Structure 1
Amino acid sequence: MTAPAHARTSADLIRAEEPVLAHNYHPLPVVVARAEGAWVEDVEGRRYLDMLAGYSALNFGHRHPALIQAAHDQLDRLTLTSRAFHNDRLAEFAERLAALTGLDMVLPMNTGAEAVESGIKVARKWAYDVKGVPDGQATIVVAADNFHGRTTTIVSFSTDETARAGFGPFTPGFRIVPYNDLAALEEAVDETTAAVLIEPIQGEAGVIIPDEGYLAGVRELTRRKGCLFIADEIQSGLGRTGRTLAVEHESVVPDVLLLGKALGGGIVPVSAVVARREVMGVLGPGEHGSTFGGNPLAAAVGTAVVGLLETGEFQRRADELGLVLSEGLEALRGHGVSGFRARGLWAGVDVDPALGTGREISERLMREGILVKDTHGSTIRLAPPLTVTADELRSALGTLEKVLGQAG
């Protein structure tokens, strides 16, 4: 007989997954059972400081009281209607999210990849209906080393062979240019271009921050060339970088904004495409949809998330604590850290390859009670909840210094 989960050890549970779960992830060997704020606890009761926050899905920490309360209250009333009917939570969610982002209309979906796929559809429809691109000829320009998801269409314009190899044939209609290269972008955009789709900061690539002026340049170029600017803020948005949106660092407003992860508060999957009215207005009934997109539970939680961001508290925390993070990483430069890129509470940290791979460093930190995740090679990413304290950050950086010292 199989023992109940609460009576089984981490090793038992990890072994139990092996024959029944698809092997599309390679998680660290920690089995989380409980969480609160910036901390998680495994089945044996060991505590870990979560410095990953669900790839920014947990910007407000685990089980934020306001978000839990919103979910509990809604669970007692209504969870799902589908969009076959109206529900009493959706209008407020859409109104407040549009106001928060400075745009006009909201298309609610569930996952980040769904938001990207939806944004692609909206851009193509706009190109045909408004711009006048001949049917079937619309193109979208993207950046190399992007990460927008792993659906078939999205991996069609990925340069990550791990996500791409073996999954063709691929969807046509995309042009890939180097990231942070306005000249290459200018050359790639032509009369068939529906949109330029980029991450304001490339997260999966190692928290790659473009040169100052790049985002403003993308905005100017897309306006001049008569195409849309789609900003994928699924990881970078909703307070992570010290602003509501990462594009705000250059005072840029895109035509289309893709949101996800933190929009669900770590409780339910919530994503959205937010756009100018003349762009989103191209969609008609039956042309796109989702059974769960905009469901009452998601709308209630999403509205509570927007409410937290409307105060500005979390943006300020990320901005102020980002200085603590950057100063701590700067002190480690040359002492196991060969370089880093940080904005707000988000950093990609390059570890001296002689000290280990990113995976090996992540495992050593896990054994010391700090959870992070590697990206590529010897790079690890840090993205703690925005509820983390300065002391907790300094403690995590001290543990990183200790682990790097031991590795040396």
Structure 2
Amino acid sequence: MSKQFANVNTALPGPKAKELLDRRHNAVPDGVSYGTPTFVESAKGALLKDIDGNQFIDFAGAIGVNNVGHSHDTVVGALQEQAPKYIHTGFNVMMYDSYIELAEKLADLSPGRFDKKVMFLNSGAEANENAVKIARKYTGRQAVVSVSGGFHGRTLLAMSMTGKVKPYKYEYGPFAPEVYHAPFPYNYRRPEGMTEEAYTDELLRRVKDFFITEVDPSQVAAFIMEPIQGESGFIVPDKKFVQGVYELCKQHGILFIADEIQTGFGRTGKYFAMDHFGVEPDLVTVSKSMAAGLPISGIIGRQEIMDFANAGELGGTYCGTPLGCRAGLAVLDVMEKENLNARAVKIGEKVMDKFSTMYEKFDVIGDYRGIGAMCALEFVKDRDTKEPDKDMTGRVLKEARERGVIALNAGIFDNVVRLLMPLVITDEQLDEGLDILGEAIEAATASVNV
């Protein structure tokens, strides 16, 4: 295959990267991981160039942060215009209009035909923790329910709500109290012979029983879930399950929180993934692609819920910085003008078509799935037993990286390759990247069979 965009000239890491990598290991703790053993020099759109001159097609998007691409001219222009005026005043000291404008736009775009208010924070974990804080204040209850396999962040309460032990929770207890984990669908791994509908019904029954055996619903402030699980491998629940949990929450006065940190802002072909499920959450948390790389997150919620806290009970020094708000407004402008929700649908169709061909060719692929441009491959040792193949996943990612494509692993069993390419990626870049991914799978399987 003739490569137009991916161009790896040296074995990774290259000579310049090796020097920096040594300095990195001397200065930065190993607990801060890295997936690619090199360092960026420049990035534009869906392309990354490292300090040794290697160029990569980006199928990771900084873990879904760069839906509008790296260094989009509109976002860069907004930051250049804002920075000379003022960088930070603290919204709780002297306010600024960009915070209000971004809040208004998000309230208008988010699911729910009711009055909403919006507050801004710094990270996804902080948004999730504050959403629970708001829910507890409003309901006067303490307990929180999340789901198995969910990921909500690495801070104490967010880590407690996360439904996977390694690497997020192992040896980091004790955890926050009054946090419970309910079951969540994993249709690919449902019991053999059970239909998807029967599986969904069984899980909903187990959630109902959960409120008998684990925690009384009268004590639960909030139920938090991702519309599509990100870190657990892009696991897509049945619409009936999400709606069933939502109705249980309404029945018992429990607030429903949608964690849209990874799914939000066009990744699934809609601004918010919950729109695929016909559910209007009480609270929605957002971050990642919200500002194209600037650290900002937010909570969007029903007006009466958001207003229940008293002045000074919510906020923080850097929450909703002027640069983050301006970048957020620029991102929404780009998404609308370039019709990136529709683009996500087209990208997803192309990716899933390619995945279908890969599935027929490589029996190490057990499943492929996704909504919009949130797509994943699950690798197994045997399609009948569905035994996860973590090692194969690592080999595929390494082979892809050495050929010029950066992608990410995920999965409860660390056996999933997930794709989060910028939505501004061109068809030519996408096709080349998918071809390289196919080559990487072929090389990874060949190395096993030698």
TM-score by length of 2: 0.84
Q: For 2:335, which of 298, 309, 326 is the aligned residue?
A: 309
Residue 406 of structure 1 is matched in structure 2 by 443
Residue 260 of structure 2 is matched in structure 1 by 233
- Between 68-77 and 217-226, report the one with greater CA deviation: 217-226
CA drift at 1:221: 1.9
Q: Does the CA contact (< 8 Å) of 1:357 and 1:379 recur in 2?
A: no
SS in 1 for 2:373: coil
- Between 214-223 and 315-324, report the one with greater CA deviation: 214-223
- 2:212 aligned with 1:185: no
RMSD value, Cα: 1.8
Matches within 5 A, 1:194-343: 194-266=221-293, 268-311=294-337, 313-336=339-362, 337-343=365-371
* Matching residue's letter, 2:245: V
Q: For 1:11, which of 15, 18, 28 is the aligned residue?
A: 18
Runs of at least 5 residues in structure 2 that lack an aligned partner in the other structure: 1-13, 186-202, 212-216, 382-388
SS in 2 for 1:179: coil
Residues 363-403 of structure 1 deviation map (CA, whole Å, 9 limit, x = unaligned): 11000000001124332111100111223222222112212
Runs of at least 5 residues in structure 1 that lack an aligned partner in the other structure: 1-6
Sort the Cα spacing of 1:97 and 1:159 in 2 relative to 1 into closer, same or farther, 3 A: closer
Residue 178 of structure 2 is matched in structure 1 by 173
- 2:347 aligned with 1:346: no
Q: For 1:106, which of 118, 124, 134 is the aligned residue?
A: 118
Partners of 2:284 and 2:322 lie apart in 1 by: 22
SS in 2 for 1:19: helix
Residue 117 of structure 1 is matched in structure 2 by 129
- Between 105-114 and 78-87, report the one with greater CA deviation: 78-87
* Matching residue's letter, 1:360: R
- Between 342-351 and 201-210, report the one with greater CA deviation: 342-351
Residue 80 of structure 2 is matched in structure 1 by 72
* Matching residue's letter, 1:364: E
Partners of 1:144 and 1:279 lie apart in 2 by: 27
Partners of 1:369 and 1:196 lie apart in 2 by: 41
CA drift at 1:61: 0.5
Q: Does the CA contact (< 8 Å) of 2:111 and 2:275 recur in 1?
A: no
Q: Does the CA contact (< 8 Å) of 1:238 and 1:262 recur in 2?
A: yes
- Between 339-348 and 45-54, report the one with greater CA deviation: 339-348
- 2:424 aligned with 1:387: yes
Residue 84 of structure 1 is matched in structure 2 by 93
Residue 4 of structure 2 is matched in structure 1 by none
Q: For 1:50, which of 50, 58, 69 is the aligned residue?
A: 58
Residues 298-351 of structure 1 deviation map (CA, whole Å, 9 limit, x = unaligned): 111112222233457010000112100100001100423221111111112113
Q: Does the CA contact (< 8 Å) of 2:152 and 2:161 recur in 1?
A: no
SS in 2 for 1:220: helix
CA drift at 1:218: 2.3
Count of residues paired in the alignment: 393
Question: Percent same amino acid at aligned positions?
Answer: 29
Residues 272-310 of structure 1 deviation map (CA, whole Å, 9 limit, x = unaligned): 000000111111112122111122111111122222334
CA drift at 1:200: 0.4
Q: Does the CA contact (< 8 Å) of 1:340 and 1:349 recur in 2?
A: yes
Q: Does the CA contact (< 8 Å) of 1:232 and 1:257 recur in 2?
A: yes
Q: Does the CA contact (< 8 Å) of 2:296 and 2:321 recur in 1?
A: no
SS in 2 for 1:161: coil
Partners of 2:80 and 2:205 lie apart in 1 by: 51
Q: Does the CA contact (< 8 Å) of 2:145 and 2:161 recur in 1?
A: no
Partners of 2:335 and 2:430 lie apart in 1 by: 22
* Matching residue's letter, 2:379: V
Q: Does the CA contact (< 8 Å) of 2:260 and 2:286 recur in 1?
A: yes
TM-score by length of 1: 0.92
* Matching residue's letter, 1:95: E
Sort the Cα spacing of 1:289 and 1:355 in 2 relative to 1 into closer, same or farther, 3 A: closer
Q: Does the CA contact (< 8 Å) of 1:100 and 1:310 recur in 2?
A: no
Partners of 1:312 and 1:231 lie apart in 2 by: 26
SS in 2 for 1:230: strand
Partners of 2:79 and 2:309 lie apart in 1 by: 30
CA drift at 1:360: 2.2
SS in 1 for 2:97: coil
